[in-house]
Amino acid sequence: MDNELFTRIVNKYGDKIYTVALHTVQNEVAAEDITQEVFIKIYKNYGSFRGDAKMSTWIYRITKNTCFNYLKREKKYREMDDIETMPSLGENKTVEKEMEKVYRHMDLHRAIGGLSPNLRLAISLYYFNSHSYEEVAAIMDIPLNTLKSHIYRAKKELAKRLELK
């Protein structure tokens, strides 16, 4: 793989890989490490990319596998503790409204952190990375109906956790 191609891949997928990793492992430092590990795997294994699927699907499968290997290794099936980043307060909004948004955001991420890794990954790829059902199913290497079931179960569980029934 030449350096120019690798640089384009890093620029195009860096934030997306990090987002998937963060939502899957629920740890910022681990997500950064996983992102780096994914890029190393892409660089080393680019010659084995056969083109059977889109390159993005191949990259996200590497990301998924790297995240799940991390979770197995570290046994990190727990809820996320806190959200470290908070949005800045807008000049035209009241502090109370902005803090309400922050708390809803924290509640959502805490609830997502309580989902199983497969459900977190499905939600992350579909809602936070805007992939279609077909793309997410291909990335996760599962049938389309299984993905739809994952998304349905995740939304149902999130609604229950957030008391939105």
For residue 111, the one-letter residue type is A
Residue 90 dihedral angles phi and psi, to the nearest 5°: -75, 150
Find the helix or strand (DSSP H, E) in which 24 lies: helix 3-25
Global pTM value:
0.59
Question: In the structure encoding, which two tokens stand for residue 63, read together?
Answer: 């990301």
In angstroms, rounded to a whole number, what is the distance separating the alpha carbons of residues 75 and 106? Answer: 23
For the record, the structure tokens of 68 come out as 């799940």
pLDDT at 83: 37
Q: Where are the domains of the chain?
A: 3-161
CATH fold for domain 3-161:
Butyryl-CoA Dehydrogenase, subunit A; domain 3 (1.20.140)
Residues in CB range of 106: below 8 A, 6 or more apart: 82, 83
**In one letter, which amino acid is 72?**
K
Q: pLDDT (tens digit, 0 to 9) for every residue of the chain, 165 residues total?
A: 788 989 999 999 999 999 889 888 888 999 999 999 999 999 999 888 887 778 888 898 899 889 888 888 876 344 333 334 444 444 444 555 555 665 566 677 778 888 888 898 898 888 888 889 999 999 899 999 999 999 999 989 888 888 754
Supply the pLDDT for residue 90: 46
Angstrom CA distances, 3 to 6, 7, 9, 16, stand at 5, 6, 10, 20
> What is the pLDDT at residue 88?
45
- The label of the residue with tokens 């059902």 reads 133
Q: What is the pLDDT of residue 51?
A: 77
92, two tokens: 């035209």
Helices (H), 26-132: 28-45, 55-74, 95-113, 117-123
